[in-house]
Amino acid sequence: MFALIDCNSFYASCEKIFRPDLKHRPIVVLSNNDGCVIARSPEAKKMGISMTQPWYQVKDQYLSKGGVVFSSNYEFYADISNRVMNVLSDLCPEIDIYSIDEAFLDLRTFRKNIDLVNFAYDCKKRIKDWIGVPVSIGIAPTKTLAKLANKVAKDDPRFDGVVILSEPRVIRHFLKSMPIEKIWGIGRKLTAKLENIDIKTAYDLSQVDSRLIGDNFNVVLERTVRELKGQSCITLHDFMEPKKQIMVSRSFGKSIRSKSVLSEAISFHASRAAEKLRYEKQKCRLITAFIRSNRFNTRVRQIYAAKSFELVHPTDDTRIIIKNANRILDQIFADGYQYAKAGVLLSDFTNRYGYQMSLFDKKRDEKMASRLMQTVDYINLMEIAKIGFGNQGYRNTWRMKREIKSKRYTTQIGEIPTTK
């Protein structure tokens, strides 16, 4: 059996932890640039605010009805997430952290049969009492079924946040009431395709011969079908897999025409990407940079320009990554467009310690560079000072909007909550 534990309206719930005055108020959290809604408390959902809705469309009405809004505060959410995951790992050592707000537990680790109902409610209570975040729990023989169970636990108040699927008869009944688009791994396109051939519920899909699906669709859907039938075939990643690519990109506060400002943004993103790369203890060989116009604005001329550059030697050196990202910018930049977003993507990784040195590598230079980067990372991390490279300025022209961010209550000494 697998359990999926998922925090309810995670970002919005985080914002409530240190603000008891907001307990029953509607809360929404906005994406970067305060662009669109990415989390809603139950009260905000009831007001009809939908996920990824552009903020400007609902702002006035929402605020006039007493809604509360926050810019996203990832540092804070990540810390709360860590605390939740720690509680879960205490309860079950076989844990697969699937995203910032959800994790699978492999309950087969428990040799003896445990009381699943007790287990689930204990789990829920600990996280609520110790961290302050409400969770929903779905338990089932496969991860796909646990996902579905979790969805119902969350949406249907009759279940009090816990749904356990073990009896085949119950599972069958449950699947019949479940439209296919709610299944994990079935998005818009697949829903349309499947409905076309008269597969409308999870039960319909579970009855299809999985090999037939494998032949006519692909192995991903085949696995989903098997999982619906109760054969577990999506396993837990029991250790953290290294990342395969690192992307840093942002939309600008307002659109930009000038190459020099774009270059600042590209340098800034390149630098952030290099930091992440070193944190992952990887070096990259491929650097990609892109710039693009606002794809929602039909009144401006559209452009999307991207290019990659392959290095001879893998690197994690901020200076090299910035230099090459800007070299790409030189090649892809075209005058006369309004740019709305830029980004840098690093890929083709090799482990920092175990890659093949070339015959002509200068070992000493490498060592120097690596020490320099370590020092820079340390100074930035400890907030001794803010060190950047080259032209990565931080002009208001492209900096993102984040007007209503809450405090970093748990990670910054100057921002911890105080009482009177």
Partner DNA sequence: TCTGGGGTCCTAGGACCC
Binding site for DNA (CB under 7 A): 31-33, 35-36, 38, 52, 54, 56, 98-102, 147, 183-191, 218-220, 241, 243-251, 254-255, 269, 276, 294, 296-297, 308, 340-341, 343, 348, 400
Chain Cα centroid distance, residue 176:
31
In terms of CB distance, is 105 or 246 closer to DNA? 246
3-state SS, residue 352? coil
Helices (H), 280-362: 318-332
Q: E strands along 31-183, which residues?
A: 37-40, 68-71, 95-99, 102-106, 135-140, 162-164
Residue 318 Cβ vs DNA, minimum distance, rounded to whole Å = 16
- Give the integer Cα–Cα distance in Å for 149 and 120: 13
CB of 144 within 8 A of CB of 227?
Answer: yes
In a 13 Å sphere around the CA of 121, the CA atoms on its Cβ side amount to 5
In the chain, the N- to C-terminal Cα span, in Å, equals 48
Q: Rounded to the nearest 10 degrees, what angle do helices 219-229 and 143-155 cross at?
A: 70
Residue 76 Cβ vs DNA, minimum distance, rounded to whole Å = 15
Residue 131 Cβ vs DNA, minimum distance, rounded to whole Å = 17
Q: Which two tokens stand for residue 394?
A: 């931080």
Residue 164 Cβ vs DNA, minimum distance, rounded to whole Å = 19
In terms of CB distance, is 131 or 186 closer to DNA? 186
In terms of CB distance, is 203 or 398 closer to DNA? 398
Residue 254 Cβ vs DNA, minimum distance, rounded to whole Å = 7
Residue 26 Cβ vs DNA, minimum distance, rounded to whole Å = 20
- Give the integer Cα–Cα distance in Å for 117 and 122: 9
In terms of CB distance, is 245 or 391 closer to DNA? 245
In terms of CB distance, is 20 or 336 closer to DNA? 336
The one-letter amino acid at 53 = Q
In terms of CB distance, is 253 or 390 closer to DNA? 253
Q: E strands along 198-281, which residues?
A: 245-256
Residue 159 Cβ vs DNA, minimum distance, rounded to whole Å = 18
In terms of CB distance, is 6 or 106 closer to DNA? 6
Strand order from edge to edge, sheet including 37-40? 37-40, 27-30, 68-71
Residue 409 Cβ vs DNA, minimum distance, rounded to whole Å = 21
In terms of CB distance, is 109 or 245 closer to DNA? 245
Q: Which residues pair with 2 in a beta bridge?
A: 106, 140
Place of tokens 């959410």: 77
Residue 347 Cβ vs DNA, minimum distance, rounded to whole Å = 8
- Give the integer Cα–Cα distance in Å for 219 and 227: 12
DSSP label of 114:
P
In terms of CB distance, is 255 or 350 closer to DNA? 255
- Give the integer Cα–Cα distance in Å for 200 and 419: 54
